[in-house]
Amino acid sequence: MRFVDEYRDPELARSLARRVAERVDPQRHYKLMEVCGGHTHAIYRYGVQDYLPESIELVHGPGCPVCVIPMGRIDDATVIAEDHPEMILTCFGDLMRVPGGRGSFLDARARGADIRVVYSPLDALRLAVEHPERHVMFYAIGFETTAPSTALTLQRAKAERVNNFSVFCNHVTIIPAIKAILDSPDLRLDAFIGPGHVSTVIGNRPYEWIARNEGLPIVVAGFEPLDVLEAVAMIVDQLADGRAEVENQYARVVRDEGNPVALRAIADTMTLRPWFEWRGLGSINHSALQLSERYAEFDAELRFDVPGVRVADPKACQCGEVLKGVLKPWECKVFGTACTPETPIGTCMVSSEGACAAYYNFGKAARQRVELKVKA
Amino acid sequence: MTDERDGLQHGADTCITCGDVAVTLTVVSLDGVDAVCRADDGGTEVIAVELVGPVAPGDRLLVHAKVALEKLA
Ligand code: SF4
């Protein structure tokens, strides 16, 4: 299968669904966690759950980077932007509406701060070159999929000696988040659907401990509906055979070794933080990246005073339970009423990959058992 | 493509910080350490290709945040 339409073919979907149905144990309930928000989005958007037996429950994991940003880190950047008139704060568009204790970046911009949306950290660097009289700070966020673009930008900034550019680094890493999920007493999982594009960078080997030590299958999957269905079929096959292995459904993109050049760029420019606060999951050791000493001159946290205040989530917010897969989005008391994509209370409602937003936008249709959507 | 009113990017319903929006583009021409690439919808974009080694016109790349992450077979 090479082209997008082939990954959305309803007949192929039905044949995969039959394969799953034939191999499930009717006495058993299966809990499979999709780690990545991209998979959550695909599952709701295309109604993947509707092709699976009732006994297979897809549990949404913490892999939406916007969703795990704590409010305090939004406030920190807001303070830097508002305290420095020369500052242009740049970020991806998805971040603009994330609520902090002092409001969102959209609110800060309405108060007068210069906050701009970019598509790439390279755009932020170009802005710095074009405006030598200003300082451009890039709010870096994302898992290992996004860290290489920040790393490459830092390498170019250093080579080009751009000294009015900095990075406020919030990159997180996927393996400690999976460990935290597995340590959670609230949840018993049977297997993981592994993140496709994170694995493009880190490869498949970092997951081997999940199979070896935890005895759980993990299948790295692509983002088309048939990718997810095939990954579920591969997991059910493993469980039926009594196997626990790392398998790669997304071999058309992911290599076992990942992308060593990208990994070297990350290692050159960034280093592990001792700990990082994740929304909903709390503080996790060695789970995030900060700039390496070699790139200290570009580290916004060293160049500017950062308040570093911890802000408690709003009382009504149950994002933590949703991020750990303990609650379904619609089980949160404010889902769809006080908390909507237009007025998000929690981060899971902000990004389209957040479980709450994905369910809000597509889940109702999925529940009404819509047919798999085929792109014309 | 950006709707700055609501902070959504990529026009519709995807989030750039997530791997979901890594997209496949085709190299059209080389431009120093970058490559001009074309999307399926015909739009072109300058993409950094240092992380995937030498590329040539016709190569298909997996791209995230204007940086190529992988050369596709
Ligand atoms: S509905 Fe809103 S507050 Fe509740 S878990 Fe979802 S994002 Fe958080």
pLDDT tens for each residue of chain A, 376 residues long: 344 456 667 888 899 999 999 999 989 999 999 988 888 888 888 889 889 999 999 988 887 888 888 899 999 999 999 999 999 999 998 899 888 989 999 999 999 999 999 999 999 999 999 999 999 999 999 999 999 999 999 999 999 999 999 999 999 999 999 998 898 887 889 999 999 999 999 999 999 999 999 999 999 999 899 999 999 999 999 999 999 999 999 999 999 999 999 999 999 999 999 999 988 788 999 999 999 999 999 999 999 999 888 888 888 888 888 888 888 888 899 999 999 988 888 888 887 778 888 888 876 655 554 444 334 3
**Above 70 in pLDDT, residue B43?**
yes
- Label each residue of chain A as H, E or C: CCCHHHHHCHHHHHHHHHHHHHHCCCCCCEEEEEEEHHHHHHHHHHCHHHHCCCCEEEEEEEECCCCCCCHHHHHHHHHHHHHCCCEEEEECHHHCCCCEECECHHHHHHCCCCEEECCCHHHHHHHHHHCCCCEEEEEEEECCCCHHHHHHHHHHHHHCCCCCEEEEEEEECHHHHHHHHHHCCCCCCCEEEECHHHHHHHCCHHHHHHHHHHCCCEEECCCCHHHHHHHHHHHHHHHHHCCCCEEECCCCCCCCCCCHHHHHHHHHHEEECCEEEECCCEEEECCEEEECHHHHHHEHHHHCCCCCCCCCCCCCCCHHHHHCCCCCHHHCCCECCCECCCCCCCHHHCCCCCHHHHHHHHHHHHHCCCCCCCCC
Q: Percent of chain B having pLDDT more than 70?
A: 71
**Above 70 in pLDDT, residue B19?**
no
For chain B, give the mean pLDDT.
Answer: 77
**Above 80 in pLDDT, residue B9?**
no
Name the residue in chain B with its Cα closest to that of A261.
Answer: B51
The pTM score is: 0.88
pLDDT of amino acid B22: 78
pLDDT of amino acid A44: 84
CB B20 to CB A141 under 8 A?
no
For residue A320 and ligand 1, the question of a CB distance below 6 A is answered with no
CB contacts of A223 in chain B (<8 Å) are 19-20
The shortest CB-CB distance from A41 to any of B20, B65, B73 is to B20
Q: Whose CA is nearest to atom 3 of ligand 1?
A: A317
Higher pLDDT, residue B18 or B55: B55
Q: Percent of chain B having pLDDT more than 90?
A: 52
Interface test with A, best of B5, B17, B60 (most A CBs within 10 A): B17
